[in-house]
Amino acid sequence: MSRLRILADDSPEVAILETSDRDEITRELERAGVRFEYWHAAAHVAPGDTAESILEAYADDIDRLRREEGYQAVDVVSMWPDHPDRDAARKKFLDEHTHAEDEVRFFVDGRGLFSLHIDGRVYEVLCERGDLIGVPADTTHWFDMGPRPEFTAIRLFNNPEGWVARFTGSDIADRFGRLES
């Protein structure tokens, strides 16, 4: 179940808000300038499907976002518990960073925890199957796929080179929760 926890950036122990209500999650994130949507596939999507069939199943929503936001590149990424690069991939995303462009992820399957550091608060967004999150350019954040990651996600980019991070050097991500299996 998708979840949003909002915490003060100097108090990771006490949630200001915790909710699993999709409408409330959408409203709270919208107030912070973050896109959150729930998508339904136009065709059945199963584990192990090809990237092409996954992109086709969500083509209407992908095309809408491309028109609205001008995204130029779209791909599909998957991670699984015994993936040989899972530890290195997890570590790469755990430190606070920004991007010069939006970071847009749609979870076809599985889950991941986005933590967004905005205006003195940390928004922990547990995204699961069907969730799309759009983190605006220059928003400080980090991502945890957990120690045994299992997800398939569609990524949309303005920059055809894909994911390019600018790390802040802050240790804030070490003080907040992680996604555990």
Strands 11-19 and 166-167: unpaired
Containing structural domain, residue 88: 3-175
Distance CA 152, CA 149 (A): 10
* Residue 74 covered by a domain: yes
The proportion of the chain whose per-residue pLDDT surpasses 70, expressed as a percent, equals: 98
- Closest listed residue to residue 129, CA positions, set 75, 35, 58: 58
CATH for 11: 2.60.120.10
User: What are the backbone dihedrals phi and psi of residue 14, each rounded to the nearest 5 degrees, phi first?
Assistant: -120, 120
Q: Is the pLDDT of residue 181 over 70?
A: no
Structural domain includes residue 148? yes
Assess if residue 181 is contained within a domain.
Answer: no
In a domain, 180, yes or no: no
**Considering the domain boundaries, does residue 72 fall inside one?**
yes
Three-class secondary structure of residue 158 per DSSP: coil
Q: If you search the block for the tokens 């912070």, which residue do you land on?
A: 32
Indicate whether 13 belongs to any domain: yes
Whether this prediction's pTM lies above 0.75 is answered by yes
Return the higher-pLDDT residue of 40 and 51: 51
117 in a structural domain: yes
- State residue 148 phi and psi, 5-degree precision: -125, 70
Instruction: Count Cβ atoms below 10 Å from residue 141 Cβ, excluding itself.
Output: 25
**pLDDT bracket for residue 83 (50, 70, 90):** very high
Q: What domain count does the chain have?
A: 1
Confidence check: pLDDT of 169 > 90: yes
With respect to residue 98, please indicate whether it lies within any of the assigned structural domains: yes
